[in-house]
Amino acid sequence: MRARNIKPTAMRELVLEVLSRQTAAIGLPELEEHFEKADRTTLYRTLKTFEEKKLIHKIDDGTGTVKYALCSETCECEPDDLHVHFLCKKCEKTYCLYNIPVPTINLPPGFQLDGVNMVVNGICSNCRT
Amino acid sequence: MRARNIKPTAMRELVLEVLSRQTAAIGLPELEEHFEKADRTTLYRTLKTFEEKKLIHKIDDGTGTVKYALCSETCECEPDDLHVHFLCKKCEKTYCLYNIPVPTINLPPGFQLDGVNMVVNGICSNCRT
DNA sequence: ATGAGGGATGCAACTGTATTGCAAAGTTAT
DNA sequence: ATAACTTTGCAATACAGTTGCATCCCTCAT
């Protein structure tokens, strides 16, 4: 996991472990609840570091809380690596649809594309049963 | 313009006028700057009303400030009406790409699609010259 | 071993956006 | 004119995110 060039401290190991246990993306406030002792700032900076090193990616699902989820092994967070996210408005959870790539967009002339944030919202399969 | 069933007050006329003058989407803080006397709350609620009545639509571009832009005449904010948005990371402006519809997404079985938020970021044609 | 340097952590304070409660002002219909 | 309802303004609050600074910990060179 530290092929991403991150110094593995105890804190970071723990945070990474929590992250890998998630089935949905997780935000800073929710991450805090998993730790009694750790400080918000530390978690904040840990997420920031992880994101910079492309171990996790940021998802802004419009709920007001930025969420994070693990990147795939080979992800470089380039436009080609990106996938669609799904926000369920019932359970409020945000899922990575890893196998649904973000469609290619043809921008007007003169526009340079660097990244895409695509969040689909609706009701997830769990909440519809 | 009030085919959208909104009671036309003086404030609302003014806000709408400012909105229609924009070439880029505008957020509440920036909207405030256009008014010396009006209160933030009033503007906030005006935007909210406009949004509910589908006169404007919300854009969460990930900058931390939700932006708004006018809907097209016939827009009902259904998935079919949606277009792509572009956030320039240089000028920080967010543009509606009205003529680029959001691509259709095939969700996994059991998922119900209600809406899509798609924001492309990069450098706009103005900033690249 | 030891001490210096650099990164990591924790605490506290702060920023900025969004939001709500409540009272005052305005509008509309009878 | 008056009652019912809506809109506006002020104040206060909530909450995520962020920064400054001091402390701690680890590593490396002497």
Question: What is residue B73's DSSP assignment?
Answer: T
Each residue's pLDDT tens digit, A76-125: 999 999 999 999 999 999 999 999 999 999 999 999 999 999 999 999 99
Name residues whose C-beta falls within 8 Å of residue A73's C-beta, 6 or more positions apart in sequence: none
pLDDT at A1 (0 to 100): 65
User: How far in angstroms lies nucleotide C20's C1' from the CA of residue B45?
Assistant: 12
Mean pLDDT of B69-92: 94
Residues A10 and B121: their CA atoms lie apart, in Å, by 35
pLDDT at B36: 86
Region B56-85: mean pLDDT is: 95
Instruction: Tell me: pLDDT of B58 over 80.
Output: yes
Shortest-distance nucleotide from A46 CA to C1': C8
- Please state the rounded mean pLDDT for residues B37-56: 96
The position carrying tokens 């209160």 is B39
Residues on chain B touching A59 (C-beta within 8 angstroms):
none
Residue B1 has pLDDT above 70, yes or no: no
Nucleic acid strand C: bases within 7 A of protein CB: 7-12, 16-21, 27-28
Q: Residue A36's pLDDT is what? A: 86
Strands (E), B1-129: 26-27, 56-59, 67-70, 83-88, 94-101, 112-123
Instruction: Give the Cα separation of B71 and B94 in Å (integer).
Output: 15
What's the rounded Cα separation, in Å, for the pair B96 and A6?
A: 38
Q: Is the dihedral of CA A50, A37, A20, A84 positive or negative?
A: negative
Instruction: Compute the distance between CA of residue B96 and CA of residue B24 in angstroms, rounded to an integer.
Output: 7
B13 Cβ partners below 8 Å, 6+ apart?
A: none
A3: pLDDT strictly greater than 80: no
pLDDT at B127: 94
| The predicted structure's pLDDT at residue B4 | 72
Q: Mind listing the pLDDT tens digit for each residue in A17-75? A: 999 999 999 999 999 999 988 999 999 999 999 999 999 999 999 999 999 999 998 99
Topology annotation, domain B2-128: Arc Repressor Mutant, subunit A (1.10.10)
Min distance A88 CA to chain B CA atoms (Å): 9
Long-range CB pairs of A26-32, under 8 A, 24+ apart, other chains included: A26/A67, A26/A68, A26/A69, A27/A65, A27/A66, A27/A67, A27/A68, A28/A65, A28/A66, A29/A65, A30/A65
pLDDT of residue A37: 87
